[in-house]
Amino acid sequence: MEVTTVSTVISVVLGVICAPCGLFLGLVPMKADLVTAKQSKASQMVSFIVAIVFIGLLVAGHDLETWAMVIGLVIGFAVAKIPALHAMDPGCYCTSGRSSSPRKRLPLPSASRKPRRSKLWPYLFAESGISTSVSRFSLAVHIR
């Protein structure tokens, strides 16, 4: 298909529209336990609309417009994944309202805590003639 002025204008418009869509999709948390119901519905709706338009243009043979959509989505997503921008609260970007803040994480299970040493730890090897010296980063066992 030959590139005309109309297809070029449509490509630019679609690329400009898809960049904020990619930005939105990149700012929504990837972990399911951090996504609110509003964010989930909004990201599904944006993805569905973009997919329908993309498939429609692809079937119609508008290659330039489909590439403009892909490039706009990738640029928006890449900007959203900049660590300084992505570390901010995603609720303020994605949706508004009280329910837009991400859910609180549950505390880690007790198995992930550091094991406690026994109060008898320094005295374990006292009878055998082995003394222990604990430095800040390592445990060294010395034989007397």
pLDDT at 110: 59
Rounded to 10 deg, the angle between the 37-60 and 5-27 helix axes is: 160
pLDDT at 11: 93
The pairing of strands 130-134 and 139-143 is: antiparallel
pLDDT at 47: 93
pLDDT at 4: 87
In angstroms, rounded to a whole number, what is the distance separating the alpha carbons of residues 46 and 26? 12
CA 143 to chain centre: 51
- Give the 3-state secondary structure of residue 4: coil
Predicted TM-score (pTM) of the model is 0.59
Mean pLDDT by groups of 10 residues along the chain of 144 residues? 84 94 90 87 94 94 92 94 72 48 56 58 53 44 46
- Give the 3-state secondary structure of residue 104: coil
Q: Which of 77, 89, 86 is nearest to 50 (CA)?
A: 77
